[in-house]
Amino acid sequence: MPNIDLAQSVKAQFAKIFQASDYKLFKAIAELNLHDAAHLKSADMLTKPPLSPRLARNCRKRLLIGVGVELLVKAVYLKNGFCINIPTRTSNDPRFPFRHTQTTGMTLKNDKTRSLDELIQHLSKIITLQNRDATLNGLTIAQVFRNKEGHGITQKHHFVRSNYRDIENSLIALYRDAFGERLSVRFSMEPREQALWRVSPC
């Protein structure tokens, strides 16, 4: 039987009502994950048979992409003054997404934030997306990567090159629309494909 008290005590180590100023930390850690996802090589994997270095690398890349995207999307919400913590439900709570300035008198859960799915669905309500469909499609693929690699591993995976290009294009658009920055990115997946992660001012 799960030890609920233990789980709650560990959650308490990380409990926080996130504020707009936290976006820089979210973005910085997101970028570390995404940079590593772009550059990770099979040679970096310390594996033993029957686990192949290539399989291990690909699983790690997709997991890093998914986690990086989640933190980056949360950074966008925080930067724009929106609350990512979930409130204790009352009939007077505003509909999500709502700003920190709307949380007066509201009780927020300090150990639970909005799901990535919900954040993606409402993203176009908090910033103007120049290419909404392309941006959201790439983020959705990254979300599936995170869920897939976080919950199960398959020995074989049908590689769809366009999935990675869609995520790259989505991130490029998000950096432009949300941060006013120019992103150059390539998640190296195939032989001789050059990895790239560079952020610069527009």
Locate the domains of the chain by residue range.
18-201
Q: How many CA atoms, within 13 angstroms, populate the side-chain half-sphere of residue 122?
A: 17
* pTM of this prediction exceeds 0.85: yes
Q: Using the structure block, give the residue that is written with the tokens 């270095």.
A: 53
Which residue(s) pair with 113 in the sheet? 85
Per DSSP, the three-state class of 199 is strand
The backbone torsions φ and ψ at residue 198, rounded to the nearest 5 degrees and listed phi first, read -145, 130
Q: Is the pLDDT of residue 105 over 90?
A: no
Helix or strand run (H / E) with residue 86 = strand 85-87
pLDDT tens track for 53-96: 999 999 999 999 999 999 999 999 999 999 999 998 765 778 89
User: CA-CA distance, 31 to 108, in Å (whole number)?
Assistant: 27
The DSSP secondary structure of 55-98, one letter per residue, reads HHHHHHHHHHHHHHHHHHHHHHHHHTTB--EEEPP-TTPPPSS-
User: CA-CA distance, 173 to 196, in Å (whole number)?
Assistant: 16
Pairing mode, if any, of strands 181-186 and 108-113? Answer: unpaired
CB atoms within 10 A of CB 65: 27
List the single range of 27-31, 47-51, 134-138 with lowest mean pLDDT. Answer: 47-51
